[in-house]
A and B are shown apart, each in its own frame.
Chain A
């Protein structure tokens, strides 16, 4: 199946700093990318959906000014957590889907963010 990578796999930062997480589709062009967040022992929560070249659509309750999403190319999407605080510590997972792939949505390995 198609491969989605994320970088970094884990990051530790100080409170108040911004952190950027990259998501890449390695062998296909991702027309749509999704960002999820997962707290310990909880399920994945969809944060936003982005289509290449257009603004992301955020789920209710997700602050778009805090979680900046850029989907500038068909193989790369970035999530920037601005002014991170300890409550933003979580497992962030991206997912990508190609128009021609049809049904499958491919997930990245996740990025563990710890804010001190």
Chain B
């Protein structure tokens, strides 16, 4: 399994961009990078995923380096409600072809957005 490394915690001022880094130096060519977040005592919430190209949706942007060994999740305008643990996950294929997989969670980054 490709492991991920994230800083245990980060702080961000409300209204500013939050940039959450993730290292996944052992990622394989056909493995995706997923980001989820978990607000206290709730189930994880999907944010975004990517393979090679940068991705953007209504929640965030995902920047993946050209060598795919690291990525950065960007919350462009952080709010207090974005305070959560953010998990960077590399999708592990259970069967060849990638149609079945499981998500293995690491320790994540606790992002605290301050007023």
Contact = CB atoms under 8 A, between A and B. Distances in A.
Contact of A44 (B32, B94, B99, B105): B105
A99 B97 CA distance: 13
B43 A93 contact: yes
Per DSSP, chain B at the interface is loop
Interface in A100-116: 103-110, 112
B67 to A, nearest CB: 22
A25 interface: no
Contacts of B3: none
B106 A110 contact: no
Per DSSP, chain A at the interface is strand
B103 A109 contact: no
A43 B41 contact: no
Interface in B49-85: 49
B97 to A, nearest CB: 12
Contact of B41 (A6, A49, A112): A112
B46 A110 contact: no
Interface residues of A, number: 24
B4 to A, nearest CB: 11
A91 interface: yes
B17 to A, nearest CB: 24
Contacts of B108: 43
A32 B103 CA distance: 12
Interface string B87-114: 1000100100001101111111000000
B44 interface: yes
Contacts of A36: 105
A43 B44 contact: no
A61 interface: no
Given A32-B100, A34-B102, A44-B105, A104 B42 contact: no
Given A43-B87, A43-B108, A105-B103, A110 B41 contact: yes
Interface of A: 1, 4, 6, 32, 34, 36, 43-46, 49, 91, 93, 95, 99, 103-110, 112
